[in-house]
Amino acid sequence: MLNSAAAPLKRSSVDRQINKYKFVTVANVYVPTVNSSDVLKEKVYGLSARPPFLAYIFMALSALLLSSQILVLILLLAFLTIFTVIANALWANYKNNTEWYLGDTRVTASSVGFMVMTAFIMFHTIIPISLQVSLEVVRFIQAFFINWDQKMYDPESDTAAMARTSNLNEDLGKVKHIFSDKTGTLTRNVMEFKRCTISAKTYG
């Protein structure tokens, strides 16, 4: 029952304040705006949290501009990928295995698919993505590599490594000592019969 309480909020008061209120720049002045209707009547630094009409217009224009910019970046990414694939196919057809060190340069379905993935990986950085999202994706992929690690496989018990969470991958390198206070954590929980006493007689 001691662990039934809710987990503590691991955010600072500044983070919680920023989550509740959004600040936009209007004429070089930071104007607080609300994130939900239930805090419209609250005060921020002694001022009403209700944003002025100009702030509403600014927020709408900012959202529209951001969505249009992201759409343009996605179209640009698609154009660069297609252009690179076509250029690579033309170049490979022009070479047509004329250079021995290039290997097989024939245009096949597998080579086109490989080039699409290569071009996408090269140009995907033009689309802005938050650092937190990038780290979560990296941790998620690292969890698969942990599960696939053959050096962590135990052939005796036929047990492979299992990453139950991907939030602690970077902390594994910090582990130097492991302390255990109960049987079964690091050792096998196996009980072997040695002796017993029945009616004042010892057996075993």
Give the ranges where the chain is alpha helix by DSSP (H): 13-20, 53-95, 109-123, 131-148
Identify the CA nearest to 112 among candidates 94, 86, 74: 86
Residue pair 39/20 in contact (Cβ under 8 Å)? The answer is yes
Our measurement of the distance from residue 99's CA atom to the centroid of its chain's CA atoms, rounded to an integer in Å, reads: 42
Is 181 a residue of the active site?
A: yes
Amino acid occupying residue 136: E
| Residue tagged active-site, from 38, 104, 154, 181 | 181
Query: What is residue 29's three-state secondary structure?
Result: strand
In the chain the first and final C-alpha atoms are separated, in Å, by: 41
Query: How far is residue 143 from each of residues 133, 149, 151, 167, 185, measured CA to CA in Å?
Result: 16, 10, 15, 9, 21
Question: Look-up: residue for tokens 């959202």?
Answer: 63
Residues involved in catalysis: 181
